[in-house]
Amino acid sequence: MPGPPVTIRPLTPRDVPTFLDLIDALAFYEHLPGPDPESRARLAADAIADPPPFSVLLAERNGQAIGYAVYFMTYSTFLARPTLYLEDVFVLEPERRSGVGRAFMQALAAEAVKRGCGRMEWQVLTWNEPAINFYQGLGAGHLADWHGYRLGADQLENLAHPHRRNEE
């Protein structure tokens, strides 16, 4: 017998503390340090900025937040269409395998269709077999021909200002 329904809705300013708590729960799950106080302040401000640099959906059951998804738009020059990029999707442990992840993915797919996206993309940690199996069950394909790369803050600074390093 199914439990109470899950509601997926956009973040409101009053939800920001809950959103930050859910981010901390994701960091704990992924064995990573959570955002420091400065990062938390930026996240809180950015989440309700006008326009926001990202969008947030919250999942609720019985009025309690049980998960979140963060997404933003990128653009595909080859498709000549936007891409919905899913940065985070997280569901609290007791609520997993109860349809919350599917509800998030359906809401995100509907948003992508509404915005005329040619695709939706995200990344998953190689050790997260439950998530990999979930995504494959939705019909998502692994991008075997692509490798993720990243420049961190220090590398960005060095690349943007190569002469500063030599002047110090």
Please name which of 26, 118, 107 lies closest in space to residue 81, comparing C-alpha atoms.
118
Distances (CA, A) of 84 to 12, 29, 30, 108, 120: 20, 24, 23, 8, 5
Long-range contacts of 34-42 (CB under 8 A, 24+ apart): none
Residue 88 tokens read as 């985070």
Residue 154 tokens read as 């220090």
Query: Which of 68, 71, 85, 135 is labelled catalytic?
Result: 135
Q: How many helices (H) and strands (E) does the chain have?
A: 6, 5
Task: Please provide the DSSP assignment of 22-79 as one string.
Answer: HHHHHHHHTT-----HHHHHHHHHHHT-SS-SSEEEEEEETTEEEEEEEEEEEEETTT
Q: Tell me if residue 135 is catalytic.
A: yes
Tell me the catalytic residues.
135
